[in-house]
Structure 1
Amino acid sequence: MLPSTLAAADFTAFQRTIPSLDIVIFSDRSRLIDGRAGGGYIGFQAHHQFLRSSLLYGHGKEVFDTEAEAALAGAQAAITYPTAQFATNLWICLDNLEVATRLLSPSTGSSQEVFESFRTLAAAWPLRERLPHTKSGSIQIRWVPGHAKIPENEAADLAAKEGAASTPPAPQKSSYASLKRHAKTQSLSAAQSQWQKVAPQSYQDLEITTSPKRPRELQLNRLDLGRIIVARTGHGDFADYHEHFNHDDAYLLCRCRA
């Protein structure tokens, strides 16, 4: 059995163990070719879908940010829904492992405000209004294998795609991760532009650039790479090199006597 198939089977088996009155939220994110990002979530209780929403985040969010915001939005909708009084636990299921591991933990970097809001919400869940016989419970996070044809996760993915494709009502705020990526892209472009102005002619003739940082030549074996470096730098067994450094013992002629 393939790992993805096995993971999907494990999750499906886990789903059967969730009490029917617990609320289960599936959240997901989407990003279009033009950079627009969206999120979505669906909610189930007693095997009935009672929540669904598509969210638009515009161009200023990375996939990581939208995944976290979709999970938060789903949890916020669930805790305020009237039937939350019947549920013991609130399950948040998402296929982004990094976000899943950080939702209930102190976080640095992008979307700190979102993660802080989620932890505040998790602390409020046991204090919600509930029936006398309903336990306080907690918010639980569960990773879902993505692209494993789990129906609920596929439905959340569809909601996210609809959110990304919708028309933005107003300019959206940019996240830290999005601004960081933009700044990195701009700096690389500026460095490349400056290099084209100041690069020695010999480097320009060999089309040596500043990007990528790890050119394909580095994948060659050491012998071939060494020959390329010698040819490009001119520091090798060349007559000009030996004459420049006054190597009196150097043999300057080729075996063909040229």
Structure 2
Amino acid sequence: MNKVLKQAIRAILPTWRTTPVDVMHRESGIPPVAQLLEARRIRFSARIKSLDPAHPLRPVLLPRKYASEPLPPLQTAAKKEAAEEFNAWLESVSPLTVIVYSDGSLSEKGAAGYGFTVHQNGRSLRQGAGRLGPAEVFDAEARGALEGLKAALRLPQSASQKIVVCLDNIAAARCLRGQPSDSSQGVFLAFQAPAKRHRQTDIRWIPGHSNIAGNEQADVLAKVGCTHPEPMNAAPTLAFLRRGAKRQCKDVARAWWNETAPDKYRSLNLDFPNCCPPELDLPRPVLHHLLAARNHHGDFADYHERFGHDDAKLTCSCSWRKSPTHLFYCRKVDSRHRMRLAPSPAVAIDRAIGRDFEKFVKLAQSSSFFEKICPCL
């Protein structure tokens, strides 16, 4: 598998054959086989944890539900227009209508909390907040909607009044009124059962942080819920497990790179990419010169002397020796194309070759350096 992967990476990257394998893994964004298999193991572990305990071979699948009539779309306009539409609807709604605002939040320490407030005729009648176990914002949004609906149904005369549950998470809103997701599936089903019996429960999406009073109040309560003690023996949600598995997969590749990165790359402060590196969008000739400047395996005087290339041209047309950083110093590069080497030449060049590689590309293309001034011969 290693041999096949290396051949594939060599086809992706326009690098010289002597380029270190570890560098090619980083520049292609493809970890070595060992790290890929470890990532697969982590993802499979999360999948196993999602299986129904009564059936170890597969999760219990819910039959897909279809509404008898097409449901109106949850979002019909941009955020600003949607907020204006909701405020207009709020002014026209019956004063007997019960409106539930719910929200979820995730603290900096990873605590998931929910909050809800029940309004009627512009007044807050009930409110509450709580914390979940290991969970994500999506799960907190679902739990907040469920607890808000329960509080609304406990109001006097609630059986004859319309209840509208408003939340700013469109994914959770879709699951509340349609097919429940795998994560927090029990919460969604627990919401749908009383909502179906009530027959007058509706779900509405509202844009978050749009100065909608009820939503802002629910947001504050959700943050308060994050400060509550974590429930005892709370099982992690599937969304939490999947997110953790995804994070661990990234950590595996990052840890490998931090251990094996060559010294030339450590000064560039280049981490292992989480997805396809943006450098791969560059034209292949430009990408070749950028990668050569990073790993020092290219048309440079020191490289040719090291491998005994007697027929190679070692100097630029300006008579200076070819080097990975010569582009930034060549006297034949017009002053209007030159890059300011501040705060120091070493730091500025490392940035231009590393994270700010657009500067390298701009300088090389605007000056036609590799085509006219210092071509590869």
TM-score w.r.t. the length of structure 1 is 0.77
Whether 1:50 and 2:125 are equivalent positions in the alignment is yes
Q: Unaligned regions of 5+ residues in structure 2, if any?
A: 1-77, 322-377
Amino acid at match of 2:146: L
| C-alpha contact 1:22 1:86 (8 A) present in aligned 2 | no
Q: Secondary structure at the match of 2:114?
A: strand
What pairs up with 1:23-172 in 2 under 5 angstroms?
23-58=98-133, 60-87=134-161, 89-126=162-199, 138-172=200-234
3-state SS of 1:141 partner: strand
Return 5+ residue gaps in structure 1 as ranges: 127-137
> Given the superposition, is the C-alpha separation of residues 197 and 168 from structure 1 closer, same or farther in structure 2, using an over 3 Å criterion?
closer
3-state SS, counterpart of residue 230 of structure 1: helix
Q: Distance in 1 between matches of 2:320 and 2:219?
A: 72
Contact 2:115 2:144 in 1 (8 A): yes
User: Which is worse superposed, 210-219 or 182-191?
Assistant: 210-219
How far 1:236 sits from its partner (Å)?
Answer: 4.5
40-49 vs 203-212, which deviates more?
Answer: 203-212
Contact 1:41 1:53 in 2 (8 A): yes
> Cα deviations across residues 117-171 of structure 1 (Å, max 9, x unaligned)?
2222222213xxxxxxxxxxx2211111211111111111122122112233535
Aligned position for 1:130? none
Query: 1:132 maps to what in 2?
Result: none
Deviation of 1:237 (Å):
4.0
**What is the CA distance between 1:177 and its match in structure 2?**
1.2
Q: What residue in structure 2 maps to residue 129 of structure 1?
A: none
Q: Is the 8 A contact 1:234 1:241 kept in 2?
A: no
The residue matched to 1:82 in structure 2 has which SS? coil
Q: CA deviation at 1:79?
A: 2.3
Letter aligned with residue 22 of structure 1 = T
Q: CA deviation at 1:81?
A: 3.1
What amino acid is aligned across from residue 75 of structure 1 in structure 2?
L
Relative to 1, partners in 2 of residues 1:247 and 1:181: Cα closer, same or farther, differing over 3 Å?
Answer: same
Q: Which residue identity is paired with 2:181?
A: T
Task: Call closer, same or farther: CA 1:206–1:161 in 2, change over 3 Å.
Answer: closer
Q: Deviations over 1:54-95 (max 9, x none)?
A: 11114x1111110111011111222243321331x2101111
Equivalent of 1:15 in 90, 99, 112:
90
Contact 1:39 1:163 in 2 (8 A): yes
Pair 1:56–1:207, CA change in 2 (3 A): closer
Q: Could you state the TM-score of these two structures normalised by the residue count of structure 2?
A: 0.55
Secondary structure of the corresponding residue to residue 92 of structure 2: coil
Q: Distance in 1 between matches of 2:231 and 2:182?
A: 27
The CA deviation string for residues 86-126 of structure 1, in whole angstroms up to 9 with x for no partner, is 31x21011111221122111133322222222222222213
Aligned residue pair count: 241
Q: Which has the higher contact order (CA 8 A, sep 6+)?
A: 1
- Secondary structure at the aligned position of 1:12 is classed as helix
Whether the aligned pair in 2 keeps the contact of 1:235 and 1:241 (CA below 8 Å) is no
User: Retained in 2: the 8 A contact 1:100–1:143?
Assistant: yes
Looking at structure 1, the residues matched to 98 and 195 of structure 2 have their Cα atoms a distance apart, in angstroms, of: 14
Task: Classify the secondary structure of the residue corresponding to 2:99.
Answer: strand
Q: Which digits, 9 at most, give the CA deviation of each residue in 1:209-238, with x for residues without a partner?
A: 534435565576765433122344666446
Aligned to 2:240: 178
Structure 1 pair 233/109, CA: closer, same or farther in 2 (3 Å)?
farther
- AA in 2 matched with 1:102: C
